[in-house]
Amino acid sequence: MFGYRSSVPKIRLTTDRMVVRLVHDRDAWRLADYYAENRQFLKPWEPVRDDSHCYPSGWQARLSMINEFHKQGTAFYFALLDPEEKEIIGVANFSNVVRGSFHACYLGYSIGQKWQGQGDDVRGALQRYPLHAAHAAHSSDYGQLHAAQSAQR
């Protein structure tokens, strides 16, 4: 009778090869699997993570906090999923969103090792939430992903 109304923005981009959407509470196990599977691969680029990053229970509190950021519009954490939404391909996090005349944020992203070199890229978020700049700390030796992105430009 009464529907639950969330103040979290509804963002969902769908292509033949992936679904890009905001993470939510039910993604705890998917995120844990993604970070556990890619722990060694992402180690050169990721900050030092404790073991809770690889367990669904560790993601429950994080996802509650992330949901609050979504509601406030201060950060947007995206999951890049396979078309059936069973597995996370990668993540893209727009954090420290600054409004006003600057309209900027920081972008952090990663693509899982087994999905490297397929030309998948994050597109569309800057169109949905207009920002003048997204600052990404990007290492030029990020392997095949960087080469694939450079080839597409």
**Which domains, and CATH codes, for the chain?**
12-152 (3.40.630.30)
pLDDT at 152 over 50: no
Output the pLDDT for position 151: 46
pTM for the structure as a whole: 0.74
DSSP element (H, E) containing 133: strand 133-136
Output the pLDDT for position 16: 84
Residues 107-125: pLDDT tens digits? 888 999 998 877 655 444 4
Proportion of the chain in helix, strand, coil states, percent, rounded to 5 = 35, 25, 40
Output the pLDDT for position 112: 93
Output the pLDDT for position 45: 85
Per-residue pLDDT band at 13 (split at 50, 70, 90): confident
Once rounded to an integer, what is the mean pLDDT over residues 4-17?
73
Pairing of strands 76-81, 88-98: antiparallel
Selected residue with higher pLDDT from 6 and 34: 34
DSSP for 81-123?
E-TTSSSEEEEEEEEEEE-TTS-EEEEEEEE-GGGTTS-----
- Backbone φ and ψ of 144, nearest 5°: -65, -30
Selected residue with higher pLDDT from 112 and 126: 112
Residues 47-98: pLDDT tens digits? 898 888 889 999 998 999 999 999 999 999 999 999 999 999 999 999 999 8
Determine the Cα–Cα distance for residues 23 and 123; give it in Å rounded to an integer: 16
Output the pLDDT for position 2: 56
Selected residue with higher pLDDT from 129 and 72: 72
Provide the 8-state DSSP code for 8.
Answer: S
